[in-house]
Chain A
Amino acid sequence: MDLLYDIPPLIGFGLSIILAALVLRQRPRSRLHQVFSLFLISLGLWAFTIFGMRVSPTLEQALPWEKAIFVVLPLVSVSFYHFVTLFTRSRGKGWRLLLAYSSLVLVAAIAPTDLLVIRMREMWYGHGFIPGPLLPVYMLVYYGIVIIALLHVAKAYRLSESSLERTRYLYVAIGVTFTLVGIFVDVLAAGGVRIYPMGIPSNILFSLLCTYAILKYHLLDIRVVVRKGTAYVLVSTLAIGLYLGLVFVTYLFVTHAWSLPFWFNVAFILFIAIGLQPTLRWAQGIVDRWFYRGRQDYLYALESLSDETKAIVDLEYIAQSLVSTTAVAMQCKSVSVLLPDAEEKSFVPVASQGLSQDSSIHIDQNSALIWWLSQREDMVTRQEIDITPQLQALTARERAMLDKLEAELFVPMMTREGLRGIMILGRKLSEQDYSLEEGRMLRVVARQMAATLDNARLYELQMRRYQEQVLLSKLGMTVSSELDLEKVYSHFIDELKQVLTIDFAGINLVNRGDEFSVDTVVLSPLSGRGLVWDATGEFSGAGATEDSSQTFHYLPDLSRGVGFQRDEQFRRVGISSLLRLPLRSEGGLLGNFLLASREPDAYSADDIRLLQQVATQLAIAIDKSRLYESERQARLELEKQDRERTEFINSLIHEIKTPITAMLASSELLREELPADASSLGELAENLDISVNNLNRRVSELTDFVKLRRVEPVLNMQSVNVEQVVKSVASQVAGLLQSRNQTLNLELPPSLAPAQADPDRVVQVLLNLLTNASKFSQPDTKIWLRAHSVNGEVVLEVHDSGLPIGAEEAKQVFNAYYRGKRGGVGGLGLGLFICKKLVQLHGGRIWVETNKSGNSFKFSLPATSNSGGETT
């Protein structure tokens, strides 16, 4: 038996039958698999008949086998054609197939005759045949059928939209070509050309390639098959070659080498088996490098990206790494990674590569695509989106966006919480489809990176929230501590700049007429402060339109829209994004806070939310500042009025002082000349003198008052014997009290501490209090004058029997010009005010206490420091 000649057909037979069984077993109901099995069986039968022919000892015995070959061969052709029509979904005419199958009967009928094969002859390689007269027609018909099948494949290849499908067709075409070449060589060999007939080997190769791909990959991916096949062949060759080589070497150099001990063979096989896996990996790596031409490193990098980024929380870094590595590994035009925004209402890009500037991606959480990816948990291609019924609900805007992006593949990034991100890949640079292997890798990477990215996103969100809290806290402190609005605004902008992209900022405020002030460009670059403080104390700025229903107004890209005329002004200064936030307080709209950036889409929904809170703070600051300002103005006005009044009084005093002095002298002289009890004139003179003296006292009060308001009087502080002062005052008021038949009771403890005071001023205060007590008490009543020491103070008290003063009045009674409600008998309302001022100058206190019996006016003076206080 010639191994090279006889064995291959047997191998081919066995292989074909086994493969046919495997193909049919995998999908017994598939018409495609059924027909392909038929094809493989017919190949097997062909190989078997060839084997039978080749091993026949004589030519006569070989002839029937040869004729049988020519019966089986048409079945191979026709079944192959049938397979191709199904494979390529050709609209083949059924009658052609029927005719082709019917021809097999005709061939079976003529094969036993000499029309196809006359007889056998010996060739250099084995048995050959002498062709009959109909053989050329036979060959033409059945190889023609194969060529027609090839044309079907070529047409399907041309019409196919899918690169994967085109690969399938290419595969089949290559296989068919192998077969045709093999058959052609067979014909040459049969015709006498000294060439080994390659029909069987080529067919074995063809069926192996096709079947392996269908079984292993469901769809054919020629590169993967060849790549893995090459690796296996390499390793197998190495392993077997190594073993055989060792045996051969041993045979050459060692006597009786064929009798290698059994343990040696087992040990060597074990050695190969253990070393096979790493060797295979090494071989696969080499082969992969041949195939991927430099991409291999990136593919490995992609696979290990998840491990490397697990501990990193920099979202931008992780996302950008993923995007750039994927773009190179997959050799695609663009890659984007989309994650949920802060509100989790839509998916927005966090990193992208290869997209044009004006491509904006934004997929709503409620989109059909998101729903589908969440449900399916698997990637979807652009082609599938067009045909999947569930995705017919994509909005027109989304479809337009996908078309613009030239997005090809959508890979969901799933965690246990569901869809946490999407990776969108554009078309490959080679315009091919993504292979199955690439798809598998993307799935793995997406799954692994989903959790990492989600964690980083959440971390970033938390950091953001923390930063916002810190920012708002700082701004709040500024608002509460600072009244100067320029400083507040400046601080706000400084803080915001650290968190957001701000190139321009400004405020314009509503003026008192509820109109916006001067229509000028409001925004200024931040090199200045962005505020214009005009002479009226208001900020001037552009008149933005008020929209009471909106909490903000955002123009994300001025270059895209057609806006108001003022937008042109903003564009001219380089502004792309413009955000206006109304400043509102309880009183209504205060104005607008404007922010702008040279970058388009500078402010996200999250940013706007933060800025709304900032605007609220700013509005409080403005409100507070305005309130402070108005109060300050009011206070200044009051002070001015008070000053004017005091000046007036002073002038008045000066004017009337001189005539009063003259009147005093004259009245005193007159009184001396005309005693009151002598005549009625004397009485008049007495009255005149009393009145002039009263007037003089009022003038003195006014003088004191003015002095106290204008300058702080100098006190002659000394240690004062309070008892002596009290007794002095009592004698001074005796006449007054006597005239009203009032009694003054003194209650002074024996060891009353001395007070540190100006004795004249103490007398002045006591005189005033006693005069008031007399005035406001009824005649025939008692007035008390008490003093006691307590806690380092000397407290003096004047108690009258007048009507009790109410609590409200008690608070006002020491105010200037307050004349009380008790029905005064004249006076300017300055007495108690002067008392208060004088006592305060001493460092003491003055107050009033009331009860049913009357009112107690009390004041304290500091005790002289060496004295011990006594409690009375």
Chain B
Amino acid sequence: MIDNILKKDELFTVWNRERIWKKYCGFLALSLDEFMVIQRLLLMEQVEMAVNSELGRKIMGEQAPKTVEDFRQVVPFTTYEDYEPYLSDKNEDVLPEKPAIWAHTSGRTGLLKWAPYTVDRAGRLADDTLAAFVLSSATREGEVHLHEGVRVVLNLPPVPYVTGLMGLVAGQRMPYRAIPPLEEAAKMEFEERIRQGFRIALNSGIDYAASIAVVLAKVGEGFGQMGRNTKFSFSVLLHPLALFRVSKAMLKSKLLKRPMLPRDIWHVKGLVCGGTDTAIYRDEINYYWGVQPLDVYVSTETGFIAMQSWTKKGMTFIPYSNFYEFIPEDEWLKSREDPDYQPSTVLLDEVEEGRTYEIVITNFHGGAFLRYRIGDLIKIIALKDKETGVNLPQMVFQSRADDVIDIAGFARLDEKTVWQAVQNTGYPYVDWSARKEYEQEKPVLHLYLELSRDSVDKDELRRSIDQQLIALDSGYADLRRMTGAEPLVVTLLERGSFQRYLELKRAAGFDLAHLKPPHMNPPDHILDELLHLS
């Protein structure tokens, strides 16, 4: 495992809650002016560091911009392709500062995207991870339940994924009990890690969990099914605490005349989830686990960008790790049509409520990425949060910038919308993929769906999804009204198709991110493969 690079925070040892809140969650109390000042100061420090590095000079030129405005005018937008020659073989000599760790994620083309983390960036990642846990268990401002030794189930990819890094560095800042232990978890497969984690948790209990939302939802669903048949391993139940928990849960479920749920077994203080589907599974998770998950916006190249507050509604940007710029949607569309077009950007104090933007980030603290387009669309849902008193713009993750299906210029459907539509129909499903196709020279949204059960009226299903899309997307509704056409086509895949695809890819040694087809716009060969397996 990676050596200790961070200092332990004694605040958790003495458990000074007031100071813990101020240090970790204090960004929520910043005014917009203060936020912008912090951004400016840290950006100019980063510029000074970057101009002394080969990579920085390649991106920025030989002369360091003197102001934020200069920086935005002089430095071009970048994508990973600009960094790939340097970062793919982890060349440290070109970087503004020597990294302490490297994290990676899978790119669309299958190549790994590496991101260096300096000690300061790792420190920020740790702090933000702890902040997420604090907020996940808070119901009011200043409420801190996080302390040393808490039990945390981690259902996230291990190091060198950024999620693994989060768990690792957070543990250096504040010792906690990882379930399963980090070193063991790193050697396990994803499903085994989940299984083992909850098995251990039966004995140990759970204070917090960090997971992808769908995993929590599926586990919860699985408990519900399991509860009916009461299939717990005998060896598990040998442990008195596990026996106590399960017995208590069974009794409770019997009294309430419902299946046993995870919340009957564990009294979880907080759940931290990342990913586009957290909002979709929020209510389900709340039902199964008894607590609403806290949504966080993290990426490998950026670390934490934003997280929800204790009310678990909009996400607030964190000013310390990255400089944020926002490309308005109309500018983004122009740049999609013309790759040479340099869209204009606005800063956080210029965003407007209700508008969608593509986010552009510049790392602080010696990071590598400058004016980097990570390819995400976000929406500003409010300029303040009156409920919490947070005076910073509130955002939600909208979709990947490159995962949008445009139907006849009316409907621009993103992953979240399609997913929500499928989810809302109530039909149990395994997974899906969608892309734009042409039928009789007309564009359609073709949805390839695998249900969890057979004997479904396909037409009824299609109508149901169609109705959901109309309700969710005004552009889609307009399209239907204007053209009278039905732009949705649904193909039901045979049961087990996605599983077979997964097994095939795993056997071929594919990375975690490529074990299933992308939801939106899968390449032809991937879809063909899926259909072939169906």
Give the interface of A toward B (CB within 8 A): 89, 91, 156, 159-161, 366-368, 371, 386-390, 392-393, 395-396
Contacts A159-B14, A161-B10 given; does A389 touch B27 at CB 8 Å: yes
29 A-B contacts (beta carbon < 8 Å): A89-B14, A89-B15, A89-B16, A156-B14, A159-B13, A161-B14, A367-B41, A368-B37, A371-B41, A386-B23, A387-B19, A387-B22, A387-B23, A388-B26, A389-B27, A389-B29, A390-B30, A390-B34, A392-B27, A392-B38, A392-B319, A393-B37, A393-B38, A393-B42, A393-B320, A395-B45, A396-B45, A396-B365, A396-B366
Q: Report B112-153 residues with CB < 8 Å from chain A CB.
A: 120, 147
Chain B 1-39 residues near chain A, CB threshold 8 A: 10-11, 13-17, 19, 22-23, 26-27, 29-30, 34, 37-38
CB atoms of A393 and B41 under 8 A apart: yes
Nearest residue, chain A, Cβ from B30: A389
| Max chain B C-beta neighbours (<10 A), residue from A91, A159, A390 | A390
A284 CB to closest chain B CB, in angstroms? 34
- A91 with B120, Cβ < 8 A, contacts A366-B44, A371-B37 known: no
- Please indicate the chain B residues that have their CB under 8 angstroms from the CB of A156 in the complex: 14
Chain B residues whose C-beta falls within 8 Å of the C-beta of A393 in the assembled complex: 37-38, 41-42, 319-320
Cβ contacts under 8 Å, B120 to chain A:
396
Assembly CA distance A387 to B26 (angstroms)? 8
Docked Cα-Cα span, A386 to B10, in Å, equals 12
Q: Is the CB–CB distance between B41 and A389 below 8 Å? A: no
Look across to chain B and name the residue whose beta carbon is closest to the beta carbon of A161.
B10
The complex places the Cα of A560 from the Cα of B123 at a distance, in Å, of: 29
| B498-523 vs A, Cβ < 8 Å mask (1 yes, 0 no) | 00000000000000000000000000
Within 8 A of A (CB), among B48-103: none
**Assembled-state Cα–Cα distance A387/B15 (Å):** 14
Inter-subunit contact A366/B41 (CB<8 Å):
yes
Tell me, rounded to whole Å, the shortest Cβ–Cβ distance linking B170 to chain A.
Answer: 17
Residues of A within 8 A of B13 (CB): 159
In whole Å, how far is A383's beta carbon from the nearest beta carbon of chain B?
A: 8
Contacts of B320 in A (CB 8 A): 392-393
Cα A390 to Cα B22 with chains together (Å): 10
Q: Which residues of B contact A (CB under 8 A)?
A: 10-11, 13-17, 19, 22-23, 26-27, 29-30, 34, 37-38, 41-42, 44-45, 120, 147, 319-320, 365-366
In Å, the complex CA distance between A367 and B26 comes to 19
Candidate in B13, B23, B41 with the most chain A CB atoms within 10 angstroms: B41
Q: Give the top 8 A-B pairs by smallest Cβ distance, nearest first.
A: A389-B26, A387-B23, A393-B38, A393-B41, A395-B45, A159-B14, A387-B22, A392-B320
- Give the complex CA separation of A670 and B502 in angstroms: 140
In the assembled complex, the CB of B166 is this many whole angstroms from the nearest CB of chain A, namely 18
Contacts of B10 in A (CB 8 A): 161
Complex: how many Å from CA A396 to CA B42? Answer: 10
- Which one of B13, B17, B38, B42 has the greatest number of beta carbons of chain A within 10 Å? B38
Q: B residues within 8 A CB of A91?
A: 15, 147
CA distance in complex: A367, B37 (Å): 10
A194 to chain B, nearest CB (A): 46
Does B23 contact A160, Cβ atoms closer than 8 Å?
Answer: no
Which of chain A's residues have a CB closer than 8 A to the CB of B23?
A: 386-387, 389
CA distance A392 to B131 in the complex (A): 14
Q: In the assembly, what is the distance between CA of A387 and CA of B12, in Å? A: 13
| Most B-side CB within 10 Å, residue of A89, A386, A392, A396 | A392
Contact of A395 among B15, B17, B41 (CB under 8 A): B41
Contacts of B22 in A (CB 8 A): 387-389
Q: How far is the CA of A393 from the CA of B365 in the complex (A)?
A: 10
Residues from chain A with a CB closer than 8 A to the CB of B41 are: 366-368, 371, 393, 395
With the chains together, A392 CA to B319 CA distance in Å?
A: 9
- Cβ distance B10 to chain A, nearest Cβ, rounded Å: 6
Chain B's closest residue to A367 (CB) is B41
Q: A386-B23, A393-B42 are in contact. List 8 more A-B contacts (CB 8 A).
A: A89-B15, A89-B16, A159-B14, A161-B10, A388-B22, A389-B22, A389-B27, A395-B42
A371: chain B residues at CB < 8 Å are 37, 41
- Measured in the bound complex, the distance between the Cα atoms of B21 and A388 in whole Å is 10
Closest-by-CB residue of B relative to A395 is: B45
Nearest CB on B from A178, distance (A): 26
B357 to chain A minimum Cβ distance, whole angstroms, is 24
* CB of B292, distance to nearest CB on chain A (Å): 23
Q: A368 to B38, Cβ gap below 8 A?
A: yes
Residues of chain B within 8 A (CB-CB) of A387 are 11, 19, 22-23, 26
Complex interface: chain B residues within 8 A of A388 (CB):
22, 26
CA distance A156 to B147 in the complex (A): 15
* Most A-side CB within 10 Å, residue of B11, B14, B15, B366: B14
Q: Which residues of chain A have C-beta atoms less than 8 A from B16's C-beta?
A: 89
Inside 8 A of A389's CB, which chain B residues have their CB? 22-23, 26-27, 29-30, 34
| Distance in angstroms between the alpha carbons of A395 and B97 in the assembled complex | 14
CA distance A386 to B123 in the complex (A): 13
Closest residue on chain B to residue A390 by CB atoms: B34
In this complex, the member of A159, A368, A387, A389 whose beta carbon has the largest number of chain B beta carbons within 10 angstroms is: A389
Tell me, rounded to whole Å, the shortest Cβ–Cβ distance linking B122 to chain A. Answer: 13
Minimal beta-carbon separation of A53 from chain B (angstroms): 42
Q: List A contacts of B17 (CB < 8 A).
A: 89
Chain A nearest CB: distance from B67 CB in Å? 11
A89 and B41 alpha carbons, distance in the complex (Å):
36
Give Cα A91 to B150, complex, Å. Answer: 12
CA distance A483 to B142 in the complex (A): 78
Given the complex of chains A and B, what is the CA–CA distance between A89 and B22 in angstroms?
A: 16
A390 to B26, CA, bound (A): 8
Residue of A whose beta carbon sits closest to that of B10: A161
Which A residue sits closest to B49, measured CB to CB?
A396
B27: A residues at CB distance < 8 A: 389, 392
Residue on B nearest A366 in the bound complex, by CB: B41
A395 contacts which chain B residues (CB < 8 A)? 41-42, 45
- Bound Cα distance from A265 to B470, whole angstroms: 95
Set of chain B residues within 8 Å of A367, measured between Cβ atoms: 41
Q: How far is the CA of A159 from the CA of B10 in the complex (A)?
A: 9
- Residues of chain A with a CB closer than 8 A to B30's CB: 389-390
Considering residues B10, B15, B120, which has the most beta carbons from chain A within 10 angstroms of its beta carbon? Answer: B15
Smallest CB–CB gap between A550 and chain B, Å? 14
A156 CA to B365 CA, complexed, in Å: 35
Q: Please, which residues of chain B bring their CB within 8 A of the CB of A160? A: 14
CA gap between A25 and B277 in the complex, in Å: 49
B45 partner residues in chain A, CB cutoff 8 A: 395-396
A389 to B37, CA, bound (A): 12
Q: How far, in angstroms, from A386 to B7 measured CA to CA in the complex?
A: 13
C-alpha spacing A552/B448, complex, angstroms: 69
Cross-chain contact of B38 among A89, A159, A386, A390 (Cβ < 8 A) = A390
Per the bound structure, the CA–CA distance linking A161 and B29 in Å amounts to 25
A387 and B14 alpha carbons, distance in the complex (Å): 15
